[in-house]
Structure formats: C-alpha cells, structure tokens
Chains A and B, each alone.
Chain A
C-alpha cells in the first residue's frame, strides 16, 4: 500500500514573547491509504498542530509533508488552498458550517472554490446529503438542525470533493454519547468503503476503535500501535 500522508522530520515552533514553543518537535510518520488512524493526546500535546499541518492549514518550521504523494513544502498560499480543496476533507468539532447558508449550499461550497458549475454543484450536494441521510433537510439552515445532523452535513461537505484524506478533529466532542456513536459509525462505514480517515481526539476509548493509534506527547510521537 502507498502512503496517503508522509511526515519527515516535521517541526513547528512558535515564538511567544521571548520564548520559543516547540509545538511539534521532529515527527516522522507515514499513514497508509484506506487506513483509519487515530491521533491521540491530551490538550497541549501538539496533536492539533499536527492536524493543522496535515490539513495544510499551517506550514512546518522544518521537515517535509507529502499529501497523497505531493510534497507540500515550499508551496504558496494558492497551492496550499488547492491541496486543501482537492485532497483534504475536514470535519471539525464545532461543525464549522456557515450559518446563513442552507445545508445544500454548505455542502456544495468546496465545489464553488473549484469552479464547478451551479447545476453540478447542486446535484452532487444533493447526492452527498442523501448519503448521510439528510435528504429531507437540504433547505434547512444549520440553526434548524440538531448537533448530529449538523455533523452529518459537515461530513457530506467533506466527502463532496472525493478527498484523499478525511481529517476529523474531535468530531464527537460537541455531541452527546448517542449521537457521537452515530457519527463514529458513519466514519467506520466510510472506512469500509475505502476512505482514508485520520481522527484527532483526546478520547482513548474512541481512538481504540481505529485500526491504528498514534500517541502524541510534548510534540513527539509517544507511541504508535496498530
């Protein structure tokens, strides 16, 4: 199997006042295609920084990151935006839906930035919402949806671009345990369908459901268990 994500000696330092914070300090790892990997660690461990780097929302201080075989080092803002649009599907803890747009428009948004025509955007978004079981909620705004429904809209939005990697950052963190369970089940079935999923969480129990668990502590890989 080839790697969906490859990190090679990645560091990320921040300057805070006079001190340098080593958020990530020499991380090298490979995540294979079609795997379901959990990145675990307490808050402040550096796992969020790792997620931002994998998602091309941030750039490393040193080291290389390859996404779906493409080396992202030295890419400019436009190229990074292109990688985010084509290769990554984000699912965030607080759903990150645009409140003024309908579920349908939220889901089709990534295709807008790709230059897809409005009819095709609409058709694809309908298809994705149907896939997450929200066919009858397409015209609703986020405020009219429950937490679980919002997260399913967000998953539909992540899937619409057919990304190489689905990057989920505490996707159940804002949900009760029952709806959290439903969302996890969706990820499991996506995994079975052959999607590459990276789950970032502080929850050991949730992480143990995944096929691989990478522990992060103090900016370094603490353990890596399959």
Chain B
C-alpha cells in the first residue's frame, strides 16, 4: 500500500543529493558491472568454442590406433564391424588412413598435402558437397581406381586457371602416381580435428594397396546414432578397446567430450572470477549502509515528525528499507548497463559474438536487492527505534 509512496520518497531523496547518491552507488555499480562483464565474456567464449566444435561434428568420435599397435594386427578394416557390434549407439564407422605427400600438376607442386584414404560413405556422413564434379563411389574403392577428390584451396593452387575435374595430377610417394580428379569440395569453415580445404581424398583401398601399403587403419571415424550422447559412446568405446588392446595402443578424440571439458572449465573459471568480483558488491553494500546511516542521523527530525503524525516503527523501517533497496537496485541497473556495454566492447575487439548471460542479469539484480535489504536493515531499524520526543527535539 505504501510501497509506491516509499519509492517516490526514496527517488526524491536520491535526486535531492545527486553527487552523494552517485558516490554511494559507485561501489555497487562497479561490483555489478564486473560480475556482469565476467559472466557475459565467459558465456561468449564458451559459445564460440562450442561453435568450432559443432563444425567439427559433435556426433563424431575418432579412434586413432598408435604405431605400436601395428604388430598386434587388431586395428584392421574388419575390426570396425566388431566395434559396431559391441558398442551401443553407433550409426556407422568409417575407416580412414592419411599421410602427407607432395602433389603436382604441370609446374605447380604443392608439398605437405594431407592425403586421405576414405570409403565412399565418408563424404555423405561428413555432409561434404562438391562445388564441381562428383565423389568417387564404392565401385571405385573395390577396383582400387586412381581417382581423387580435392579440397577447394588445393584445387585453387594446383589449377590457377580452373576446371580441375577430368584432369590428372601426380601424387608422390617414393614414386609419382597419376590420379584423375573427379570432384572439388565446396569450401568449408576450418574446425578442430578436421581440415578439408587443403586435403586430397582417394578411395581407401587405392590408398592401402596402391599408394601406401598398410594393414592398420589410421583413424576410425565413428558416427554416433541419433538420440545417443557422443560422450557416453566415447566412454563405452574406451572401455571396449581397453579390453581388446590396452590403453597405450590407441587414442580417442571426441569433440563432444572436449567440449564438455572445456564448458566445465570455462564455467568454473568464470564463476570463480565472478565470485571475486562479488566481493566488490559487499564493499558496495557497505557504501550504501554508510549513506543510510548518515541519512538517518540527518533526518532524525523528519522521523520525529512522522512519528508524531502516527507512523509506526514498522512504517518508518519500511520507508528506510525501501530507500536503501531503491538505491542498491538503481546502482545494480546502472552496473548492469555498464557491464553489458563493456562486454559488448570486449567481444567486438576479440571478434566473438556477444552472448548475454541470463544468469548474470538475474544474479546481479537479485544480489543488489539482497545487499540493499541486508545493509539497509540496520540503519532502518535504527530509524524505527528512535524515541519520538527525542527525535522531534533534534529537529
């Protein structure tokens, strides 16, 4: 009932002492601004990390056998079927092999090209598309044909004049072998763990039998079935592989698992920083308590008059509590604004996208409210306890 009047009175008294109000709000403004900035930046950083993982494929788990596993003869192409049978939640497993080699077209020689041997399903399951030509098919793999699909940048470098499709290029591995270019990949954003733009893809069997003889798969690309958690599948794979070989014989790389770790590190880190910043909120609260104590002393006469006119101790207490909460919430709102502007500026400089953390808004405003209540309580109670006659005499 009296809330509206109390808020109006509080605003009037704040407006009557602008400089003092500003100075007493400084602490809470800085506190809220830093909490908001830290939480916003934390969220923005982890979102931008997530984005790069999402391009990498959160539904993918990569198993990479180590060189020492070669003589165990476990990690063969056929082993993929065993894995798919023993571990739940797998949509498909694509065996791949890769190494780096030099590639030549006429006078253009590009060294250190990532050459990958993949089955024809690889393109579809990685959502790859051609900008020109087409992918090789299962029959090319079976026949070990010397055909290839090349990344957009590699195509650009090898064929500055364009039109690579239907032309032959040489891929060096001890001796040069000639490969027919079937297609060129569309350009794709780079992401963690996979780079397509500079790579050359040939059929798996062509690679292992004609290009570089090997019995061991380089990487099993495991695609997780819909509705299954990649981090869980990664753990199950690890458990199964440890039974079969032992943990020294392979590595697992799963964007989802790394994302989970990085999310948890980021959120722990930003909560830790925000907690430090929250200390300044307490300092801000002391500023408010200080100004409220001064205000109660200054307005003793006013309190006496109000009491003479019939204000109960509770009504006086609410008046001063509402005033301190109005102060702290105002400081909180200004701090929220400053913090948002600061995070926007920081994010623009770093080139990320700004994500406003809803938690930051809720935490900072509810903290302001709690601080206003907590640090306003004592001054308000002091005002409520004043004896009316004594208060009037000090008018």
A96 adjacent to B308 (CB under 8 Å): yes
Cross-chain contact A100 with B16 (CB below 8 angstroms)? yes
Q: Which of B5, B305, B387, B392 contacts A112 (CB 8 A)?
A: B5
Partner-contacting stretch, out of A28-36, A76-84, A172-180: A76-84
Q: How far is the CB of A115 from chain B (nearest CB, A)?
A: 6
Asked whether A85 lies within 8 Å of B389 as measured between CB atoms, the reply is no
Kindly state whether residue B127 has any CB partner on chain A within 8 Å: no
Residue from the list B16, B305, B313 in contact with A98, Cβ < 8 A: B305
B310 interface residue per 8 A CB criterion: yes
> What does the 1/0 interface line of A89-131 toward B look like (CB < 8 Å)?
0101010111010000000011011110010000000000000
> Which residues from chain A contact B12 at a C-beta distance below 8 Å?
100
Which residues does chain B contribute within 8 Å of A81, judged by CB atoms?
Answer: 307, 310-313, 315
- Within 8 Å of chain B (Cβ to Cβ): is A57? yes
Residue of B nearest to A89 (CB): B309
The answer on a CB contact under 8 Å between B308 and A109 is no
B1 within 8 A of A: yes
Given A57-B389, A57-B392, check contact A110 B13 (CB 8 Å): no
Given contacts A57-B389, A112-B5, contact A84 B307 (CB under 8 A): yes
Give the chain A neighbours of B302 by CB distance below 8 A: 98
Q: Do B16 and A84 touch (CB < 8 A)?
A: no
Set A58, A100, A110, A115: member contacting B309, Cβ < 8 A: A110
Categorize the interface residue count of chain B: 20 to 34
A157 at interface by CB-CB < 8 Å: yes
Partner of A82, one of B2, B5, B16, B310: B310
Q: How far is B316's CA from A78's CA once the two chains are assembled, in angstroms?
A: 11
- Is B314 interfacial (CB 8 A cutoff)? yes
Q: Collect the chain B residues with CB atoms within 8 Å of residue A94's CB.
A: 395
- Interface SS, B side: helix
In the complex, chain A residues whose CB is within 8 Å of the CB of B308: 55, 57, 84, 90, 96
Distance A78 CA – B311 CA, assembled complex (angstroms): 8
Instruction: Flag A65-87 by CB within 8 Å of B: 1 or 0 each.
Output: 00000000000011001101110
List which B297-329 residues lie within 8 A (CB) of chain A: 301-302, 304-315
Q: In the complex, which residues of chain A have a beta carbon less than 8 angstroms from the beta carbon of B2?
A: 112, 115
Instruction: Give Cα distance in the complex from A90 to B302, angstroms.
Output: 14
Bound Cα distance from A100 to B5, whole angstroms: 14
Mark B67-87 against chain A: 1 for CB-CB distance below 8 A, else 0: 000000000000000000000
What are the residues of chain A within 8 A of B313 when measuring CB–CB?
77-78, 81
Measured CA separation A174–B155 after assembly (Å): 99
**How many angstroms between the C-alpha atoms of A90 and B309 in the bound complex?**
8
In the complex, the answer to whether B395 meets A157 with C-beta atoms within 8 Å is no
Q: A132 at interface (Cβ–Cβ under 8 A)? A: no
B287 at the binding interface (Cβ < 8 Å): no
A122–B389 CA distance with the chains assembled, in angstroms: 28
- The number of residues on chain A lying at the interface, defined by a beta carbon within 8 Å of a beta carbon of chain B, is 27
Return the contact of B310 from the options A58, A92, A113, A118 (Cβ within 8 A).
Answer: A113
Residues of B within 8 A of A98 (CB): 302, 305-306
The residues of A that contact B133 with a CB separation of less than 8 Å are: none
- Asked whether B388 is an interface residue with its Cβ less than 8 Å from the other chain, the reply is yes
How far is the CB of B139 from the nearest CB of chain A, in Å? Answer: 87
Asked if A58 and B311 make an inter-chain contact with CB atoms under 8 angstroms apart, the answer reads no
- Across the interface, name the chain B residue whose C-beta is closest to A52: B389
| Docked-complex contact B309 and A113, CB < 8 angstroms | yes
Q: Given A98-B302, A112-B5, A84–B13 Cβ distance below 8 Å?
A: no
Q: How far is the CA of A52 from the CA of B388 in the complex (A)?
A: 9
**Minimum Cβ distance to chain A for residue B379 (Å):** 18
A113 to B16, CA, bound (A): 24
Is the CB–CB distance between B310 and A110 below 8 Å?
Answer: yes
Contacts of B314 in A (CB 8 A): 78
Question: A86 to B395, Cβ gap below 8 A?
Answer: no
Q: Are A113 and B312 in contact (CB under 8 A)?
A: yes
Task: Take A98-B305, A100-B12, A100-B16 as given contacts and tell me if A77 and B389 are in contact as well, using a CB distance cutoff of 8 Å.
Answer: no
> Nearest CB to that of B388 among chain A residues?
A57
Compute how far the CA of A115 lies from the CA of B312 in the bound complex, rounded to whole angstroms.
12
Q: Report the separation of the CA atoms of residues A57 and B308 in the bound assembly, to the nearest whole angstrom.
A: 7
User: Is the Cβ of B310 less than 8 Å from the Cβ of A84?
Assistant: yes
Could you tell me the distance in whole angstroms from the C-beta of A46 to the nearest C-beta in chain B? 14
Residue of A nearest to B15 (CB): A100
Q: Closest residue of chain B to A77, judged by CB?
A: B313
Chain B residue numbers with a CB within 8 Å of A112 are 2, 5
Query: Closest approach, in angstroms, between the C-beta of B302 and any C-beta of chain A?
Result: 6
Query: Is there an interface contact between A113 and B395, defined as CB atoms closer than 8 Å?
Result: no
Whole-angstrom distance between the Cβ of A56 and the nearest chain B Cβ: 8
Known: A78-B313, A81-B311. A113 touches B306 (CB 8 A): yes
How far does the Cβ of B307 sit from chain A's closest Cβ, in whole Å? 7
- Chain B residues with Cβ below 8 Å from A52 are 389
Docked pose: A161 CA to B313 CA in angstroms: 20
Residue interface bits B353-395, CB-to-A below 8 A is 1, else 0: 0000000000000000000000000000000000111001001
What's the nearest-Cβ distance from chain A to residue B325, in Å?
Answer: 19
18 residue pairs from A and B, CB less than 8 Å apart: A55-B308, A81-B312, A82-B312, A84-B310, A85-B309, A94-B395, A96-B305, A96-B392, A96-B395, A100-B12, A100-B13, A100-B16, A110-B310, A112-B2, A113-B306, A115-B1, A115-B2, A118-B5
Which residues of A are interface residues toward B (Cβ below 8 A)?
A: 52, 55, 57-58, 77-78, 81-82, 84-86, 90, 92, 94, 96-98, 100, 109-110, 112-115, 118, 157, 161
Instruction: Taking A112-B5, A113-B315 as given, write out 10 further A-B residue pairs in contact, using a Cβ cutoff of 8 Å, ordered by the A residue number.
Output: A58-B388, A77-B313, A81-B307, A81-B312, A84-B308, A86-B310, A96-B305, A96-B395, A98-B306, A118-B5
For the complex of A and B, list the 5 residue pairs with the smallest distance between their C-beta atoms, beginning with the closest.
A85-B310, A81-B312, A57-B389, A110-B309, A57-B388
